Chains A and B, each alone.
Chain A
Amino acid sequence: METLLESIGNFLNTLGPMIVLPIVITILGIILGQRPDRAFRSGLLTAVAFVGIFLTVGLLGENVSTIATAFAERTGTGLDIIDIGWPAASALAFGTPVGNVIIPVGIALNIILLLLGLTQTLDIDIWNFWHMAFVGAIVQFVTGSFALALAAAAISLVMALFLADWSASLIQKHFNMPGVSIPHLQSAGYMLLAWPFARVINRISFLKRLQLDPDSIRKRLGVLGEPVVLGLIIGLVLALLAGQAPLDALITAVNIAAVMVLVPRMVAILMEGLTPVADAARNFMTSRFAGRRFHIGLDSAVLIGNPGVIASGLLMVPVEIVLALLLSAVGNRTLPFIDLADGPFVTAMLAPLVGGDVLLTVILGAIVMGIGLIFTTLLAPAVTQMVVQSGVSVDIPAGYATYTVMSDGAIPASYGLYYIFSLPGVAALVVSLIVLVALYFLKGRFSLGGERGED
């Protein structure tokens, strides 16, 4: 079994995402009842997206790796590991061997868990299976085994479903979205880590009295919510600090603004290819579970319009930069960069833990990302390998700048499984099984927003 899986893994790796993902998407679409010509078009679009993604991520590497190294040296901060951001990471993760097969595997696993009654979440958010693919990619780095990487990805999917069940009731109440749960490994993973801290800071009454107004923050910091402007500003500051001449710095800044705009556009094409399949999968699953009570699992993106989430998410921009600088003393080398634009994904599921209070949400965000930055640094070799193996043409200056992904390197499930799978295979599987049982117990006994109150 294991050798069979390994040869499948090698085979997928040799062909690459531009061949494998379109085939998987086309076949899956047909199995789920799509018309063959449309399924083929979907598959082809995913391949086209990868062409675009490789081109634009190459642009990122070219512009950023040189200035980041110079920045780290000249400023003495030592922040030489670049955050490539979730848009690039999502595509690269889908492009790995585990990423190529995660969608059908994930759907099947979700259906099995629903049939066994182990979860109440029907995850129709196929797109965010990329977080599990990311876990697979870093575990493949540490184990060298496709079978174990796939197992780790599957385990992280079960974690996401359990966390969605755990938080469902609170999320539904806080955001007024009945019938919904959020199996989003990133936001839900942060929520689990923040939960004990939330129980503490909810008791500190003077913090609660400070009441920051979400609307005025949103209006004042609104510009930080525009990736193109944020890219320009951060690019300019970094380039100047890295010692570039003003004109060169401006050119670098414009290039980074371009990365902020172009990479997501390419990812949108990938999304466009996946949409019909996601739709077919949704219809396939919901029709099989008609009449049963379940939560529909959605992207945490649906929570983000909430004013408290946006305001605290925008405040995360300066907070993450300051954290990175402060924590450089204790081992952080991550330079927060592209993912600065997506603070609301950090805060989306933290806000309900503190009744939507902006200041308390930011404090929780700082705790989660502070711990996270240490691990994004430690995970950098794994992420760098994911980038290098993807076939993106990036030159990493020898011995220096490497890459990480702030959004996903900072997820407890990512670094947790990364270290668990540093153990021998069997031990790793046993430990992760214990973690799953613990999470199952957690969602059964301590589910959020239930009768026991939100604390």
Chain B
Amino acid sequence: MERKKVYIVCATGIATSTMLRVKIEEFLKDKGIDVVVNQYRVTELAPSRVDADVIVATTGMPDEFAGVVPVINGVPLITGVGEDQTLQEILDTLQAAG
């Protein structure tokens, strides 16, 4: 399977997105998925510049991303409530991307 691209988006591109990156990278590595993860701040990302198979965001994403790339709510990975389902959703989305 080719290398997958994940964008993690938060308010700063530093704090919560780093927490998620640690978890998502570890999870996907365990599943044998070759993945490259980039962190962005929500204010610097425009739909035209997105080159990713999935966006995981810890903050609300502007509507214009809908239809461009699947957006998954990453807050469960911070709170721990629904963490496993969210990780599974990321995996499913990446596998569906072919």
Write the residues of chain A forming the contact surface with B, with a CB cutoff of 8 angstroms.
Answer: 87, 124, 127, 175, 177, 179-180, 215, 218, 222, 225-227, 264, 267-268, 271-272, 275-276, 278-279, 282-283, 286, 296, 298-307, 310, 313-314, 342, 344-345
Contact = CB atoms under 8 A, between A and B. Distances in A.
Contacts of A301: 10-12, 15-16, 58-59
Contact of B43 (A282, A286, A298, A314): A314
Contact of B13 (A264, A314, A345): A264
A255 B44 CA distance: 20
B42 interface: yes
A225 B41 contact: yes
Interface stretch (B27-35, B75-83, B89-97): B75-83
A306 B60 contact: yes
Contacts of A87: 14
Residue with the greatest number of chain A CB neighbours at <10 A, chosen from B13, B14, B43, B44: B43
A124 B78 CA distance: 8
Interface of B: 9-16, 18-19, 21-23, 39, 41-44, 46, 57-62, 75, 78-81
A275 B78 contact: no
Contact of A296 (B10, B19, B79): B79
A276 B18 CA distance: 11
A14 B75 CA distance: 39
A286 B80 contact: yes
Contacts of B42: 304-305, 310
B16 A310 contact: no
In order of increasing CB-CB distance, the 5 nearest A-B pairs are: A225-B43, A305-B60, A305-B59, A301-B11, A304-B11
Contacts of B19: 127, 271, 275, 278-279
A127 B15 contact: yes
30 contacts: A124-B78, A177-B75, A180-B79, A225-B44, A226-B43, A226-B44, A264-B13, A268-B13, A268-B39, A271-B18, A275-B19, A279-B80, A283-B80, A286-B80, A298-B78, A299-B15, A300-B11, A301-B10, A302-B11, A302-B78, A304-B59, A305-B9, A305-B11, A305-B57, A305-B60, A306-B59, A307-B60, A307-B62, A310-B43, A342-B12
Interface of A is mostly: helix
Contacts of A264: 12-14
A222 B78 CA distance: 27
A222 B43 contact: yes
Contacts of B23: 275, 279
B18 A344 contact: no
A275 B59 contact: no
A85 to B, nearest CB: 11
B81 to A, nearest CB: 7
Given A226-B43, A264-B14, A299-B16, 19 more contacts: A87-B14, A127-B15, A175-B60, A218-B62, A222-B43, A226-B44, A227-B41, A275-B19, A278-B19, A282-B79, A282-B80, A298-B79, A299-B11, A303-B59, A305-B57, A306-B59, A306-B60, A313-B43, A344-B43
